[in-house]
């Protein structure tokens, strides 16, 4: 929204206070006529697809001027960084949008095979696997563009750009729609169910408070995750793999790198770090990549032509709003996606969690109908189940770093010790040259394949201490779906 539009809408705010009273209870509907979704990002688009099966009309509103193609946009700034879709998210994507994989591939995405990548973690490379596992690799804006295109093609769905939602319409009994600001003018859009998919900065709590409902408790687990990303022209000579992931071992190792092919014969190189400032200049970006314990990111940033400056993102905490614990919630309104829970992005869980929450919402609508508070309550219970495991994984993993603060899930230390052994057991042989060059991350002073050969890595016996890894190490399932 432009400054002048924002001002105009602000000036009209007083009128909208009256707007909520204008929606007469006589408009009560028991049929699923109109669903209104706030936010046309990944959560909003999955939700629109699911609700299109349950409502006569679905309207998706986004305050951004949504682009025609797969380009990054202001309202989803994370689109500038590498995104991976976990196996569950990928499966849900294929089920809800049959044929979308082919469409993405035709538009330049790459099918990456797990065995053709280099995955360095726990002091060594992951071994090859017998099972064929592949994933679609594309930029986040391209994925979003194809989702948007498919959703917009549904006959009963309309996506509206440049419409900012400012509050809820409430008739004293249930939410009846949203108040919106469009072209500097305030108006109301009525709906039988409003779904807030406006992301981490969702104002749903404040809106609920305005209409007399309690607001959810918010859990924050401080992670201070920073991302720095550049895009490079891709050529097979840049590195000897189709993708590369490098992750240092906690608690001392905080750095990570993701080198992933994206459309247009490009690499997206995202460097991650914690409890520090993001990289802003090209020289530091290159030095960081070259200083990692595996060489692939360094190869790409030194060999390939850079196409963008360094772009960065900082996330201070994983954030979870506990809607499922509220005793009173308004009928006709739910929140979903990052608006409920935004994870430390390094674990790659947000899009998959949103997809699974959208499916859960469809089931809740089918089960409870939309008439009363059974729908939001039932949905929040199911959404909490979707979120619980990835939340424990992500924040549990973050607690491998002593700087992490916040509510620590029960059992975190036990799971982390177990996962340390699993990760060590997943290591395979690595080029000897690499280990001569990179002593870092070798607690025993031997290459990981040697440690494995001794059996200690698999079992944790004979005094070998596995690095302090954890269930949520960023690799847990990253986009290498079955």
Ligand X SMILES: Cc1cc2nc3c(=O)[nH]c(=O)nc-3n(C[C@H](O)[C@H](O)[C@H](O)COP(=O)(O)OP(=O)(O)OC[C@H]3O[C@@H](n4cnc5c(N)ncnc54)[C@H](O)[C@@H]3O)c2cc1C
What residue ranges bind ligand X (CB under 6 A)?
38-44, 61-64, 75-76, 78, 81, 83-85, 164-165, 197-200, 227, 313, 315, 337-339, 345, 348-352, 354
CA angle 110, 114, 117 (to 5 degrees): 80
Whichever of 387 and 427 has its CB closer to ligand X, that residue is 387
In whole angstroms, how close is the CB of 445 to ligand X at the nearest point?
A: 34
Contact (CB, 8 A) for 146 and 67: no
In whole angstroms, how close is the CB of 292 to ligand X at the nearest point?
A: 19
Contact (CB, 8 A) for 192 and 171: no
Q: Report which of 401, 70, 69 is spatially closest to residue 223, judged by C-alpha positions.
A: 401
In whole angstroms, how close is the CB of 64 to ligand X at the nearest point?
A: 4
Whichever of 75 and 369 has its CB closer to ligand X, that residue is 75
CA distances to 17, 30, 199, 384 from 341, in Å: 29, 30, 9, 9
In whole angstroms, how close is the CB of 351 to ligand X at the nearest point?
A: 3
461 HSE (CA, 13 A, CB side): 7
Whichever of 404 and 475 has its CB closer to ligand X, that residue is 475
Whichever of 62 and 248 has its CB closer to ligand X, that residue is 62
Partnered with residue 62 across adjacent β-strands are none
Whichever of 20 and 78 has its CB closer to ligand X, that residue is 78
Whichever of 91 and 200 has its CB closer to ligand X, that residue is 200
In whole angstroms, how close is the CB of 339 to ligand X at the nearest point?
A: 6
The two structure tokens encoding residue 256 = 């990570």
CA angle 391, 84, 99 (to 5 degrees): 115
In whole angstroms, how close is the CB of 467 to ligand X at the nearest point?
A: 23
In whole angstroms, how close is the CB of 353 to ligand X at the nearest point?
A: 7
Write out 427-462 in H/E/C secondary structure: ECCCCHHHHHHCCCCCCCCCCHHHHHHCCHHHHCCC
The DSSP element (H or E) to which 317 belongs, if any, is: strand 311-321
**Rounded to 5 degrees, what are φ and ψ at 204?**
-55, -40
In whole angstroms, how close is the CB of 362 to ligand X at the nearest point?
A: 16
The DSSP element (H or E) to which 44 belongs, if any, is: helix 42-51
Whichever of 74 and 132 has its CB closer to ligand X, that residue is 74
Whichever of 353 and 412 has its CB closer to ligand X, that residue is 353
In whole angstroms, how close is the CB of 425 to ligand X at the nearest point?
A: 25
Whichever of 86 and 430 has its CB closer to ligand X, that residue is 86
Burial class of 443 by CB neighbour count within 10 A (0 to 12, 13 to 18, 19+): middle
Contact (CB, 8 A) for 135 and 178: no
Residue closest to ligand X when measured from CB atoms: 350
């Amino acid at each position: 929204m432009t400054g002048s539009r924002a001002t105009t809408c602000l000036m009209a705010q007083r009128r909208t206070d009256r707007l909520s009273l204008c929606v007469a209870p006589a408009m009560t509907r028991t049929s699923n006529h109109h669903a209104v979704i706030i936010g046309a990002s990944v959560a909003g688009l999955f939700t629109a697809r699911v609700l299109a099966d349950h409502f006569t009309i679905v309207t998706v509103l986004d305050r951004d001027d949504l682009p025609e193609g797969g380009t990054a946009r202001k309202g989803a700034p994370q689109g500038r960084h590498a995104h991976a879709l976990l196996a569950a998210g990928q499966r849900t994507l294929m089920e809800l949008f049959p044929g979308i994989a082919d469409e993405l591939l035709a538009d330049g995405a790459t099918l990456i095979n797990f065995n053709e990548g280099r995955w360095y973690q726990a002091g060594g490379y992951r071994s090859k696997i017998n099972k064929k596992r592949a994933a679609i690799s594309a930029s986040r804006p391209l994925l979003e563009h194809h989702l948007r295109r498919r959703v917009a093609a549904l006959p009963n769905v309309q996506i509206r750009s440049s419409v900012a939602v400012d509050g809820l319409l409430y008739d004293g009994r249930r939410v009846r729609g949203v108040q919106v600001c469009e072209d500097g003018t305030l108006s109301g859009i009525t709906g039988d169910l409003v779904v807030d998919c406006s992301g981490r900065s969702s104002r749903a709590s404040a809106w609920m408070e305005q209409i007399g409902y309690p607001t959810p408790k918010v859990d924050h687990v401080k992670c201070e995750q920073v991302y720095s990303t550049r895009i490079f022209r891709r050529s097979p000579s840049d590195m000897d793999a189709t993708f590369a992931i490098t992750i240092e071992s906690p608690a001392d190792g905080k750095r990570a790198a993701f080198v992933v092919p994206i459309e247009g014969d490009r690499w997206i190189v995202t460097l991650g770090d914690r409890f520090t400032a993001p990289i802003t200049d090209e020289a530091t970006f290159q030095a960081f990549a070259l200083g990692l314990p595996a060489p692939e990111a360094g190869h790409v940033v030194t060999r390939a032509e850079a196409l963008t400056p360094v772009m960065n993102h900082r996330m201070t905490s994983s954030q979870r709003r506990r809607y499922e614990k509220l005793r009173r919630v308004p009928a006709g309104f739910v929140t979903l996606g990052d608006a409920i829970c935004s994870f430390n992005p390094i674990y790659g869980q947000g899009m998959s969690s949103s997809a699974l929450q959208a499916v859960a919402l469809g089931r809740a609508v089918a089960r409870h109908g939309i008439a009363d508070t059974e729908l939001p309550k039932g949905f929040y219970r199911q959404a909490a189940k979707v979120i619980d495991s990835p939340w424990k994984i992500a924040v549990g993993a973050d607690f491998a770093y002593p700087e992490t603060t916040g509510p620590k899930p029960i059992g975190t230390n036990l799971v982390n010790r177990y996962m340390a052994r699993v990760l060590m057991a997943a290591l395979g042989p690595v080029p000897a040259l690499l280990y001569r060059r990179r002593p870092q991350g070798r607690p025993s002073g031997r290459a990981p394949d040697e440690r494995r050969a001794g059996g200690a890595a698999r079992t944790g016996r004979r005094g070998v201490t596995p690095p302090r890894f954890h269930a949520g190490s960023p690799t847990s399932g990253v986009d290498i779906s079955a």
